[in-house]
């Protein structure tokens, strides 16, 4: 072989080796970039998965918060109804206590009238003893049906109309 051929051969060989090495370096550089890109893409995918799970949790908590809000509104309505019923009960109890006190007053009046009646009945025999046995002239004739018994007047007084106090 000739020296020229050998020099040309070596020159071509060096150029091919140089281009192969350049391609190899380029290929390795691209592989490194691709690995970094793959790693960052895997991180992004992991973050996306985590955010998706958090999003589902937040949606579940929003649903729970909505149910709690509805329950709170229901509780508010119940509290308002309880307050209304309690005030109606208090008003009714005031009326009942007023009626009980008036009933006590009426009972006391009845007892006083009964005591007065007993005193008058006891006084009648004394008057009959002191007054001579003369036939008295009847000035006012009253039929027994027209005379109201004492109990009926008392019953009419105690028959106060009592309302049931319902406000519903």
Whether 153 maps to a domain, the answer reads: no
3-class DSSP assignment, residue 110: helix
Distance CA 33, CA 138 (A): 139
Q: Is residue 82 assigned to a domain?
A: yes
Q: Look at residue 138 and tell me if it is in a domain.
A: no
109 confidence band (pLDDT: 50, 70, 90): very high
| Site of tokens 């992991």 | 46
Chain-centroid distance, C-alpha 154: 48
* In the predicted structure, residue 152 carries a pLDDT above the cut 70: no
Residue 167 in domain: no
Would the pLDDT of 103 be above 80? yes
Q: Tell whether 113 is covered by a domain.
A: yes
Domain range holding 49?
3-129
Global confidence as pTM: 0.37
DSSP label of 98 = H
Say whether pLDDT at 130 is over 60: yes
For residue 131, the model assigns a pLDDT of 75
pLDDT at 43: 94
* CA distances for 104 relative to 24, 36, 92, 117, 158, angstroms: 117, 98, 18, 20, 10
pLDDT digit string, tens, across residues 27-85: 999 999 999 999 999 999 999 999 999 999 999 999 999 999 999 888 988 999 999 99
Q: What's the pLDDT score for residue 167? A: 65
Please count the residues of the chain.
168
Residue whose entry in the numeric block shows the structure tokens 């009714």 = 92
The reported pLDDT for the residue numbered 136 is 55
Domain total in the chain:
1
91 within 8 A of 165, measured Cβ to Cβ = yes
**What is the distance between the alpha carbons of residues 116 and 103, in angstroms, rounded to a whole number?**
20
């Amino acid at each position: 072989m000739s020296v020229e051929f050998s020099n040309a051969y070596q020159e071509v060989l060096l150029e091919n080796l140089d281009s192969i090495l350049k391609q190899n370096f380029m290929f390795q550089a691209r592989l490194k970039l691709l690995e970094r890109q793959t790693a960052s893409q895997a991180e992004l995918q992991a973050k996306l998965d985590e955010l998706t799970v958090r999003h589902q949790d937040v949606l579940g908590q929003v649903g729970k918060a909505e149910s709690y809000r509805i329950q709170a509104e229901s509780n508010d309505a119940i509290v308002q109804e309880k307050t209304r019923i309690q005030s109606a009960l208090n008003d009714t109890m005031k009326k009942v206590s007023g009626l009980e006190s008036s009933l006590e007053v009426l009972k006391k009046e009845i007892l006083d009238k009964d005591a007065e009646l007993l005193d008058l009945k006891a006084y009648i025999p004394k008057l009959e003893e002191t007054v001579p046995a003369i036939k008295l002239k009847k000035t006012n004739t009253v039929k027994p049906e027209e005379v109201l018994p004492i109990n009926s007047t008392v019953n009419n007084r105690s028959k106060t109309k009592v309302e049931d106090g319902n406000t519903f």
